[in-house]
Chains A and B, each alone.
Chain A
Amino acid sequence: NAGVTQTPKFQVLKTGQSMTLQCAQDMNHEYMSWYRQDPGMGLRLIHYSVGAGITDQGEVPNGYNVSRSTTEDFPLRLLSAAPSQTSVYFCASSYVLQGTQYFGPGTRLLVL
């Protein structure tokens, strides 16, 4: 049981480039979320999904897209990277919306 996995662990992008952060979970959780962590700001919700085919915006969705074609996978796409998107990104999943969140190890992104 791997829990929540994220790839890559580190990434450097140039402004304007696009990329996809991968997230997968093997716990059959319906709820999955993407957060970004910035110093002094805690965790901010980017997008979330309550099940395959259903996604919604969180607190800071601009510049990011998501899709949920399967229960297991929830990729986060940066369409045109900007320096303001330099951050640590965490994927999380839970059995129910109000339940314990299980976090991946994070992806550290630097946009130059």
Chain B
Amino acid sequence: AQSVTQLDSQVPVFEEAPVELRCNYSSSVSVYLFWYVQYPNQGLQLLLKYLSGSTLVESINGFEAEFNKSQTSFHLRKPSVHISDTAEYFCAVFNFGNEKLTFGTGTRLTIIP
């Protein structure tokens, strides 16, 4: 069965410091990869996605993620975080083998002023 692992349930980071949120998945077939963000008391919204092509994808607010096929990872990074980045971040994987979308358990990012 496919699994998506977000190793850190909570990540506290000082404002303007860099951050990496980790995501690993298990799949031997083709996948699409997504990062969703959930701001407090809201639904999830797409942050960025990898479908094909360049393995480095970027969002409009400075996040980036790199697809690493050999390590089956899709870690999310930002070089300098802001208070407004406080949210929960979910990694999701669509598996073309079983045509299922699986979400990770989420990482709560807390920015320390």
Q: Please state if A43 and B43 are interface contacts (CB–CB under 8 Å).
A: no
Stretch at the interface among A13-21, A67-75, A97-105: A97-105
Q: Which residues of A contact B49 (CB under 8 A)?
A: 100
State the interface size on chain B (CB cutoff 8 A): 20
Assess whether B34 is interfacial by the CB under 8 Å rule.
Answer: yes
The 8 Å CB contact of B34, one of A35, A40, A45, A100, is A100
Q: Determine which of A40, A98, A103 lies in contact with B43 in the assembled complex, contact meaning CB atoms within 8 Å.
A: A103
- Cross-chain contact of A98 among B32, B45, B46, B103 (Cβ < 8 A): B32
A42 adjacent to B105 (CB under 8 Å)? yes
How distant is the Cα of A90 from the Cα of B103 in the complex, in angstroms? 13
Interchain CA distance A104-B45 in the complex, whole Å: 9
The reply to whether the CB of A2 lies closer than 8 angstroms to some CB of chain B is: no
B96 contacts A40, C-beta separation under 8 Å: no
Pair B43/A104 contact, Cβ less than 8 Å: yes
Closest Cβ of chain A to B65, distance in Å, is 15
* B42 located at the interface, meaning its Cβ lies under 8 Å from any Cβ of chain A in the complex: yes
Which residues of the partner chain B approach A106 to less than 8 Å between Cβ atoms?
42-43
Which residues of the partner chain B approach A4 to less than 8 Å between Cβ atoms?
Answer: 43
> Are B105 and A40 in contact (CB-based, < 8 A)?
yes
Q: A101 and B42: CB pair below 8 A? A: no
- B residues in contact with A45, CB < 8 Å: 101
Chain B 69-96 per-residue mask, 1 if CB under 8 angstroms from chain A, else 0: 0000000000000000000001010101
7 A–B contacts from the bound complex (CB under 8 Å): A35-B103, A40-B105, A97-B99, A100-B34, A100-B46, A103-B43, A103-B44
Please give the residue numbers on chain A whose beta carbons come within 8 Å of chain B beta carbons, in ascending order: 4, 35, 40-43, 45, 90, 92, 97-98, 100-101, 103-106
Chain B contacts to A: CB under 8 angstroms: 9, 32, 34, 36, 42-46, 49, 90, 92, 94, 96, 99, 101, 103-106
